[in-house]
């Protein structure tokens, strides 16, 4: 299975790739300063089979092996499985990556352009009606599949993005900065 990794040069990019390859993924990296919207557009145009999409600041553990997917993750009626990670910035569990079934690709391709100016195109795409009527998107919440944000010591870009999204109350940057200083 392919894992598409989106990177803007995070220091964890190579570790992210290594962890995915260790689990048996063929990794294709979209490494550039292009917007996430552009990277998602490119992924949706490139993909021809089921895939996993991962940001480069996510380090997956060994349970994200493609052959270890659960029955629900192999269900062809489900198009998208959001996966849980421990979010270093929040100091809490959150969604960060997803398995995408190839059956979703026509809808993803047809809708991605609507979100060109969005600060969160991946979230906007996850809300398209085709994923919810009938229910084709679920959260696999039985296990945390990795860690998001660990090893990113310069938090200035992350903070700017969270401020632009009005999400600062969801994050504990004071604790993260103290942990990073250890």
CATH number of the domain residue 97 falls in: 3.90.550.10
Q: Which residue range forms the structural domain that includes residue 94? A: 2-150
Q: Is 158 part of a structural domain of the chain? A: no
**Based on the structure, what is the number of domains in the chain?**
1
Residue 111 is encoded by which pair of tokens? 């809708």
pLDDT in tens, 32-75: 888 999 999 999 999 999 999 999 999 999 888 776 655 555 66
pTM: 0.90
Average pLDDT over residues 103-122: 94
Q: Is 164 part of a structural domain of the chain? A: no
Q: Is 155 part of a structural domain of the chain? A: no
């Amino acid at each position: 299975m392919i894992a598409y990794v989106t990177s803007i040069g995070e220091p964890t990019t190579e570790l992210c790739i290594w962890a995915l390859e260790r689990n048996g993924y063929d990794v294709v990296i979209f490494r550039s300063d292009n917007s996430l919207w552009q990277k998602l557009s490119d992924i949706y145009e490139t993909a021809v089979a089921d895939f996993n999409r991962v940001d480069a600041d996510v380090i997956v553990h060994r349970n994200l092996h493609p052959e270890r997917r659960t029955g629900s993750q192999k269900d062809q009626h489900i198009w998208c499985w959001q996966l849980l990670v421990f979010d270093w910035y929040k100091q809490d569990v959150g969604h960060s990556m997803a398995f995408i079934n190839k059956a979703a690709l026509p809808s993803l391709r047809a809708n991605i352009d609507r979100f060109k100016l969005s600060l969160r195109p991946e979230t906007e795409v996850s809300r398209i009606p085709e994923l919810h009527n009938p229910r084709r998107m679920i959260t696999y919440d039985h296990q945390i599949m990795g860690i998001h944000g660990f090893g990113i010591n310069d938090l200035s870009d992350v903070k700017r993005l969270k401020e632009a999204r009005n999400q600062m109350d969801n994050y504990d940057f004071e604790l993260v900065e103290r942990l990073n200083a250890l």
